[in-house]
Amino acid sequence: MNITNLAVDITQQVKPGVDPKDKKLTIYHMSVAFVAFIIGVFGGLLQGLARGGLIPLPSWLGYYQILTAHGVLLALVFTTYFIFGFFFAGISYTHGPLSKGLRKLGWTGFTVMSIGAVLATIMILMNEASVLYTFYAPLAAHWLFYIGLTLFVVGTWISSGAILTHFYRWKKENPGERSPLFSFMATATLLLWIVSSLGAAVSILFLILPWALGLTDSVNVLLTRTLFWYFGHPLVYFWIMPTYMVWYLVVPKLIGGRLFSSSLAKLAFVLFLLFSTPVGFHHMLMESGVTEFWKFLQTVLTFAVVIPSLLTAFSIFATFEQTGREQGGKGLFSWLKKLPWGDVRFFAPFMGMMFFIPAGIGGLINASFSLNAVVHNTLWVVGHFHLTVGTTVILTFFGMAYWLLPMLTGRRFTKHANRCGIVQTWLWSIGMFLMSGAMHILGLFGAPRRTAYATYQDAPQAVAWFEGIFASHITVAVGGVILTAAGVLMFYNFIYLTLLAPKGETEFPMTPDPHDMKDSPKFLENWKLWLLITALLIVFAYTIPIYDMIVNSPPGSPLFNNLIK
Amino acid sequence: MSEMNKQKSKSHTSGENHTSLKTTLIFTMTLGVLILLSWFAVFFLFLERS
Amino acid sequence: MHIHKYEKIWLIFGVGSLVLFLGVIGVAAFAFGHQPPSHMATVDAENLDQDPVFSEPGLTKIDESTYRATLVAQAFGYNPNRIEVPEGSTVLFEVTSADVVHSFTIPGTNVNFMVTPGHVNMAEHTFNEPGEYLVLCNEYCGTGHHYMSMTIEVVPR
């Protein structure tokens, strides 16, 4: 390390933090995220009550319209804005302020994303796009909905370009140095996002949009589904990886320790990049047109992507134990008392981790080839992803909001905010336990997902789904009501922390580098190599089945836009 | 084990190997058993239904 | 790269479990025929009335206890919307769609597969208990999706 670098290090130690101009960019992202969140939450409430048969929906509001809004606003808009906000703040904290040009690029990305998100939302509200957030052809939305989705994705690419370039410049100026964990992990996440969203972009731009505009008469349905799930599964990891970043980088600091191992953390993220994409067929296991062989091959690759989560489970728990013991904790379990249970910035992500245990197990079952018949498209799946993205990811993001928001707005994280946060976390956990637990069991009984209130002419089997003691649509609705209360409280927390809390300083809790930082193998930083292997795995897993879909395709499908209104 | 802890608290840079991770092992093994039990429960449900 | 001894134990256990699961489903599938429904035949979804099989959907008897049910899924129902077989019958379902993506799902059984337009999908089930079996669509197919169902009547022998 030369002298100039040392000087930089010293100034960074003296004045750590995020540049005010970068803070502004982040707070805009967070605000959009929370507005989308609260609308999405009320969408969820209406669904839960309507499906439970507790309220009728007004004639001007369709169940599937609300369902589309709920999915798009929460799964796509909330998560994506939150993640990019987090990344802009983190990269500015780690490598210093963005350059003027890159910040401008960040704002451009934000603007393009927002135009897309608003356009898509308007089309949903006009009931021109009740195709759910998976937009499976040949059900067809208004073409402007697809334009909205495209702009949204293009916006994320522009923002990704800004973040990746900022990191790349640092890398060029500091040859041979190990990348800080934050930028390493953000890079893996964004590369995964770009690689996978290319699939969605190809599907929309070359297949769906020309068809929705009437430029082509028909669309290859199976190909659009395949391209969607080529994107759709890595999308899940696009949510999970920033969540893991909080677990790896922020939680150790909050509990007063340091991360257990940097090499293993980096390895986990590389494995996510490699194995998240060539696995989309595990969402299409019950589908004709793809042979058993390719389905099984992608099942094997799916199981490979479990390994980085196994690594994470160990690393995080080991960090807890190591910290608890360093602080004088003894015995097999009494060191647990050393953890800061009363601090919501730790407690919310911790509850997220606990929920990830059943969520991860459920995921393994979903992906298990022919076993998928037991749960495919049932409420079990809905219960599953409400545990993963709806609890594990969201509680971790909430945990992040408690320090990120006041840091951005120059306010203090107060005792009041902490108390509200703890209550919020418990409410969310209880609501989700009821809702998701009931959904899992109903799913095993065969209750379908994405279906409005229905008893199928009072078929005894379907009626039983309303009459179970725990396994009932009523439990789902009760859980939904509690979740709504928790959602409203979280929106209050957002308002409080951005506008009302007393002025002051809040730090960015980032763990110091682990002890093995300098020994972490150099090859881990070889992004060209990882991208090459990612590409090879994708080519290997997808080329032959996609070739088959194109060459042996049946006559394509015309537009079906009449069925959604 | 308590000696190890003392050693650990004395020097912050001695690396992670000196702290006991016994509970971590128990936790992960419990997790593993839970995974096995749940997976086979659904597998037998599948067999029973076919 | 240093890996803690306990972490090695955990990884061996964890990865071992994954291999075990893959082994179990692999053997079940490729040795005992528990494959996921993955039929490769295609049809012209817009001209099913000219299709040799799907122009006249319905139930045909193959032998004493085996039936073939060819069905067309269409928003928002199935054609035919009721079939009747004796207890103990094995039914081979062959289903295609005349419009959008549907599913053919008998809750409480492993018959639960996607019906994509242009493709035929299949599954087999033996009905050992008499009674009325509900069939429903669990893939969103439009505003009337939640009305889409049919019945299989299994009559005692």
**Is A459–C15 a contact, with Cβ atoms under 8 angstroms apart?**
no
- Flag whether B15 is in a domain: no
Do residue C16 and residue C84 come from a single domain? no
Amino acid at A219: V
User: How many Å apart are CA A283 and CA A288, to the nearest integer?
Assistant: 12
> Residue A347: which of A436, A433, A246, A262 has the closest Cα?
A246
Question: Rounded distance, CA A243 to CA A392, Å?
Answer: 8
- Cα of A24 to nearest chain B Cα, Å: 37
Any domain includes B7: no
DSSP assignment of A5-59, as one string?
HHHHHHHHHHS-S--HHHHHHHHHHHHHHHHHHHHHHHHHHHHHHHHTTSSPPPT
Give the residues of chain A that fall short of pLDDT 50: 1-14
Question: Is the CB of C12 inside 8 Å of chain A's CB atoms?
Answer: no
CB contact under 8 Å between C10 and B21, yes or no, is no
Identity of the residue in B16, B24, B50 whose CB atom sits nearest the CB atom of C110: B50
Domain annotation covers residue C133: yes
Residue of B nearest to A446 (CA): B49
- pLDDT computed for residue B13 by the predictor: 39
Interchain CB distance below 8 Å, B49 and C17: no
Quickly state the pLDDT bin for B10 (edges 50, 70, 90). very low
Asked if the model's pLDDT at residue B20 lies above 90, the reply is no
Going by CATH, does the domain composed of A344-515 fall within 2.130.10.30?
A: no
- Smallest CA–CA separation between C78 and chain B, in Å? 23
Chain B positions touching A360 (Cβ under 8 A) are 35
The answer, for A554 touching chain C at a CB cutoff of 8 Å, is yes
Contact check, Cβ <8 Å, B32/C17: yes
State phi, psi for A516 to the nearest 5 degrees.
Answer: -90, 15
Number of structural domains, chain B?
1
In angstroms, the CA A49 to CA A70 distance is 14
Q: Could you tell me the residue range of the domain that residue C17 belongs to?
A: 1-35
Task: Report the residue of chain B nearest C3, measured CA to CA.
Answer: B17
Q: Do A462 and C145 touch (CB under 8 A)?
A: no
Asked whether residue B6 is domain-assigned, the answer is: no
**Is C103 in a helix, a strand, or coil?**
strand
pLDDT category of residue B18 using cuts at 50, 70 and 90:
low
Interface test with A, best of C38, C39, C47 (most A CBs within 10 A): C38
Suggest the residue from B14, B18, B22, B25 to mutate for an interface test with chain C (most C CBs closer than 10 A): B25
Determine phi and psi for A519, rounding to 5 degrees. -90, 0
What domain range includes position B34? 21-50
Judgement on whether residues C80 and C146 belong to the same structural domain of the protein: yes
Cα gap A441→A443, rounded to integer Å: 5
Q: Which element (helix H / strand E) includes A98?
A: none
Is the Cβ of C92 closer than 8 Å to some Cβ of chain A? no
Burial class (CB in 10 A: 0-12, 13-18, 19+), A144: middle
Cβ pair B23:A332 closer than 8 A = yes
Q: Which of A261, A271, A288, A307 best probes binding to C when mutated, by most C CB atoms within 10 angstroms?
A: A288
By residue count, chain B amounts to 50
Mean pLDDT of B9-25: 62
Q: Are residues C53 and C3 in the same domain?
A: no
**A547–chain C nearest CA distance, Å:** 14
- pLDDT means per 10 residues in chain C (157 residues)? 89 97 96 94 95 95 95 96 96 97 96 97 96 96 96 95
Q: Considering the domain boundaries, does residue B45 fall inside one?
A: yes
Q: Is residue B27 part of a domain?
A: yes
Smallest Cα distance from C26 to chain A, Å: 8
**Residue C111 placed within a domain:** yes
The rounded distance, in Å, linking the Cα atoms of A458 and A466 is 11
Residues in C touching A290 (Cβ below 8 Å): 38
C-alpha span between A309 and A271 (Å, rounded):
10
What single DSSP character describes residue B18? G
| Subunits with 3+ C-beta pairs closer than 8 A to A | B, C
Q: How far is C97 from chain B (nearest CA, A)?
A: 25
Q: Which fold has domain A19-177?
A: Four Helix Bundle (Hemerythrin (Met), subunit A) (1.20.120)
Is it the case that residue B8 has pLDDT exceeding 80? Answer: no
Domain count for chain C: 2
Q: C24 and C54: one domain?
A: no
Task: Tell me which chains share at least 3 CB pairs under 8 Å with chain C.
Answer: A, B
Report residue A540 as tokens.
């290997």
Q: What is the ipTM of this complex?
A: 0.96
Sign of the dihedral defined by the CA atoms of residues C16, A270, A1, A251, in that order: negative
Q: What tokens appear for A404 in the block?
A: 């990120």
Q: In A, which residues are within 8 Å of B23 by CB distance?
A: 317, 321, 332-333, 335-336
Are C14 and C69 in a shared domain?
A: no
3-class SS of residue A447 = coil
Residue with tokens 């100039």: A4
User: Which chains are adjacent to chain B, needing at least 3 Cβ pairs under 8 Å?
Assistant: A, C
What pLDDT does residue A97 have? 95
| Residue carrying structure tokens 């495919």 | A376
Question: Which amino acids of A are annotated catalytic?
Answer: 233, 237, 384-386, 449-450
Residues C135, A16: Cα–Cα separation, whole Å: 62
Q: Is the distance from CB of A447 to CB of A379 less than 8 angstroms?
A: yes
Q: Is C84 found in the same domain as C130? A: yes
One-letter amino acid for residue A352 of the chain: G
- C28 and C57, same domain (yes or no): no
Question: How many B-C residue pairs are in contact by the CB < 8 A criterion?
Answer: 34
Q: Are strands C66-74 and C58-63 parallel, antiparallel or unpaired?
A: antiparallel
DSSP-assigned states of every residue in A155-209 = HHHHHHHHHHHHHHHHHHHSTTPPPPHHHHHHHHHHHHHHHHHHHHHHIIIIIIH
Report the residue of chain C nearest A63, measured CA to CA: C143
Residue C40 lies in a domain: no
Tokens representing A429?
Answer: 């956990």
Cα separation values, A508 from A23, A25, A399, A426, Å: 12, 16, 13, 25
Q: Do C13 and B29 touch (CB under 8 A)?
A: yes
- Among residues A401, A424, A412, the alpha carbon closest in space to that of A26 is found at A401
Angle of CA points C136, C141, C144, to nearest 5°: 75
Q: Which two tokens stand for residue B25?
A: 């092992």
CB atoms near residue A182 (< 10 Å) = 23
Cβ(A205)–Cβ(A150) under 8 Å? yes
| Whether A519 and C2 lie within 8 Å, measured CB to CB | yes
Which residues are CB-neighbours of A454 under 8 A, at least 6 positions away? Answer: A462, C146, C147
Interface test with B, best of C8, C34, C110, C128 (most B CBs within 10 A): C110
Q: From C114, which residue of chain A is nearest by alpha-carbon distance?
A: A287
Residue in the structure block whose two tokens are 């076919």: B50
Name the residue facing B24 among C6, C108, C109 (closest C-beta).
Answer: C6
Alpha carbons C119 and A336: distance in angstroms, whole number: 56
Are residue C8 and residue C83 in the same domain, yes or no?
A: no
* Residue C31 touches partner A, C-beta closer than 8 Å: no
Among B24, B32, B50, the residue with its CB nearest the CB of C34 is B50
Q: Which two tokens stand for residue A326?
A: 């360093």
- Angle, vertex CA A538, rays to CA A536 and CA A544, nearest 5: 100
For residue A510, count other CB atoms closer than 10 A to its CB.
17
Other Cβ atoms less than 10 A from the Cβ of A253: the count is: 18
Domain spans of chain A, in order of start: 19-177, 196-254+256-339+526-565, 344-515
**Do residues A392 and A428 make contact, with C-beta atoms less than 8 angstroms apart?**
no
Q: Which residues of A touch B20 (CB under 8 A)?
A: 321, 325
Q: Give C-chain residues touching A279 at CB under 8 angstroms.
A: none
How far is the C-alpha of A423 from the C-alpha of A46, rounded, in Å? 23
User: Would you call B16 and C6 a contact, using CB atoms and an 8 Å cutoff?
Assistant: no
Element spanning A562, H or E: none
Mutate to test the interface with A, among B14, B16, B37 (most CBs of A within 10 A): B16
Give the residue from A295, A33, A466, A172 showing the smallest Cα distance to C26.
A295
For residue A245, which of A194, A197, A196, A190 has the smallest C-alpha distance? Answer: A190
Interface of C to B at Cβ within 8 Å reads 4, 6, 9-10, 13-14, 17, 21, 24-25, 34, 108-110
Q: Which letter does DSSP use for residue A99 in this model?
A: P
Partners of C68 in beta bridges: C60, C92
Residue A491: closest CA among A433, A429, A424 = A424
C134:A456 CB<8 A: yes
Chain A interface includes C107 (CB < 8 A): yes
Write out chain B residues lying below 8 Å of C10, CB-based. Answer: 25, 28-29, 32
For A474-539, the three-class secondary structure string (H helix, E strand, C coil) is HHHHHHHHHHHHHHHHHHHHHHHHHHHCCECCCCCCCCCCCCCHHHCCHHHHCHHHHHHHHHHHHH
Integer Cα distance of A408 and A504 in angstroms? 11
Q: Is residue B12 part of a domain?
A: no
* DSSP single-letter state for residue A77: I
Alpha-carbon distance A394 to A203, whole Å?
A: 28
Query: Are residues C56 and C7 both part of a single domain?
Result: no
Residue C123 lies in a domain: yes
Instruction: Let me know if residue B3 belongs to a domain.
Output: no
Note whether C99 and C75 are within 8 A (CB): yes
SS3 B42: helix
Give A426→chain C minimum CA distance, Å: 30
* Residue B37 maps to a domain: yes
Is A555's CB within 8 Å of C44's CB? yes
Strand runs labelled E in chain B? none
